[in-house]
Structure 1
Amino acid sequence: MPVVHRFAKLAVAGAIAGSLWAGATAYAQDIKIGYTADQSASGVAELGIAGRWGFEAAIEDINKAGGIMGRKVVGVIRDDQGTPPKAIQNMTELIDAEKVHAVVGPANSGNALAWLHLPQQKKIPVVVPIGTATEITTRYAKEPQNYLFRVSMVDREQVALLGAYAVKASKDRKIAILADSTGYGQGGIKDATDILALHGVTPVATEKYGPKDTDITSQLSKIKAAGADTVIIYGIADGTAQVLRSMEKINYMPLTLGTWGNLSSLLPKMAGGKLAEHLILAASTTEDTNAKTKALGERVRKNFPTLTTFPCSAQAYDSVMLLAAAMKLAGSTDGEKVAAALENVTGVEGVIKTYNKPFSKTAHEGLSVSDFYLARWKGDSPVRYEDQFTKALTPADLKK
């Protein structure tokens, strides 16, 4: 069932004032954009909720400015509950029943990988604002038209940042990889291993844990015995919290790096503030980056007062703005024309940055490692993290 929500009244010339429920029948001239992400079930639900509010804020701004080609934009929201079967069902409903013109989502990479074939086959452009698996945008890269785009962290790109930092900061270049056993985690192992190899480093240990495991001491003991002074964790917040707690149990606290999924408040809630601060993680933007991010943060917090995953809101907002720009450039909502236009849009004002031809025929990533930075939890919020090693990173280090 859809997550029921109400859009604010919009005073748009020619539009009918009133309220519209997500999933309700829209007027024929309306442009429908779907949003599907976990908003209730898994450790990334907080990211999915944050993305939803950014998605809605963008639609509100577009409609206030007159819509797209003079047509009102309607958001259709679905909760995939963190499971691939529900995610596939949502995408099928959005495309076949709701007849959306484009989709923004999801949060879980595994869910995206489960339904990529659907929009690709039916020529519906998708911009992924949260999921980070490298394969999301590359699986269909050799097709005449790839319909999958992204404005988010990318596994290989964030690993490029984490790996470069690890090589600089590790005293003996003894680095281990610890990942959850999901497709997300196992893809991360491959990316991390490949990136470290480009720096001439072979992991001294590679271990995995179940996403629901609460005791990871056995795996950590093996990593410790291998002499690792640095550990890259590839998992989301709830699993990472258990890893940190297990580290504390065996009194082994190496330099610990993690992916941006750890921006969820589940990490400090489950691990405790002190342990959460031990993790250094990758991030893409903060609320105080510029006036636009600050303004969006203030808007989103009206619906989500405890927001910690602001990058998801910003990335979802920018995803919608890029789709709108592509539809205007194409002069159409036809999926094939919009996907082609996405590869040519330029000068699109987002909140993270101005996107000057962010996509091309062969590259569908709107953000790159140059847009990312390291962060660390401090109290209730993640903040930018810098030290002597981050300052020593060069563009050459990050382009491995």
Structure 2
Amino acid sequence: MKKNLHKRQLQIALLYFCIAAVLGLLLRSFSMLSFDFNYRYVVHAHSHIALLGWVYVALTTLLHYCFAKDTSKNTYNWIFWCTQITLVGMLLTFPFQGYALFSIIFSTLFLIVSYIFTYHFWKNIAPTHKKSNALKCVKASLIYMVVSSLGPWALGAIMSTLGPQSIWYRLSIYFYLHFQYNGWMLLALLGLFLFVLEQRGHIIPQKSFVLFFKSIHIGIILTFFLSTLWTEPSTWLYVLGGVGAMVQIGAFLFFWKLTKNGIGVLFLSNLQNRLLRTVVVLISIKIVLQFLTAMPYFAQMVARYLDFTIGYLHLTFLGVISIGLFLIMDYCNLLRISKSSIAFYMVGFLLTETLIFFKGVSAWLQWKVFSGYALALNLCSLFIFLGLMLILFYNRTKS
């Protein structure tokens, strides 16, 4: 019963991902469409449904499935459906009014419900997991999720006093995104990966885990300063950001050393093994790119050419986080991933990333972008949507 409940909820999360993909297609078709819409409003809807509809719902569902007591499901269900009300509210308001009264009400209610989920989860952890390393990562990820919400709370005050042109406006957004991506989402995924290893009997020695745990926290906190370098701050912030990036590289290398010998006990399928290797490669690219931005030249280049930032965010979201979620869901037999669906998704992901970074490089080197760029980007994005729809259709027919 519990498994069927979470399967249905993950299908709802995937549906949000499909909607976010449609909104992404709409945005990338903006220059080619004859009808008018507010581009910025749709961007807000796209980002909120992607981060909160797909990733948040998927992660919280997986966390509840793996760590919570069976007796907690009634309250959890209530929290889940309250979350859906706030998400549908955002979906119906952001595209038409951007940040305005009703969209702010729904996004504020979402934050409140996320706090309630965190409290509920914390109070309903199954006793068998309370001393596990996996749970330590998950608890820390939830703390980072709550901390990240300080960014949205600050936006209202900043907009009413300093205005959206203030550097503090952008810094609040970057604060939120950094601790969402690098704190909440990435650490929750690591916790879920440790969970499946621990279920198979692979336990990381406590001293080694503590070293990794401290290192990853130092890396997460200090790399936030990389998000401030576009303001051309004091040299010390470059140093702190660079130290954080190096510590994070070391933490992930150490984590891989601690876990790679345990991968054999998971008995991964060929597809799952390829997904895992893909995530490892993409995390490696992510942390190297992050390290490069600690250097003033690259920091200013990224700040000047927005496509580099968009490419990096999509690399993290569509690559590391989403493919990581697909792996965990498929391994736990909660959402089945077929070879054809992931093939469509990966083709779309790799081609769109190539095109986005190509545009950034072209702007940097003052090259001309080929005339069919917008159409090519849109067609490549269509592969992502088709891959997601195939996953959704496959799971609906199997349920």
Same fold (TM over 0.5): no
More strand per residue: 1 or 2? 1
TM-score (norm 2): 0.28
More helix per residue: 1 or 2? 2
TM-score (norm 1): 0.28
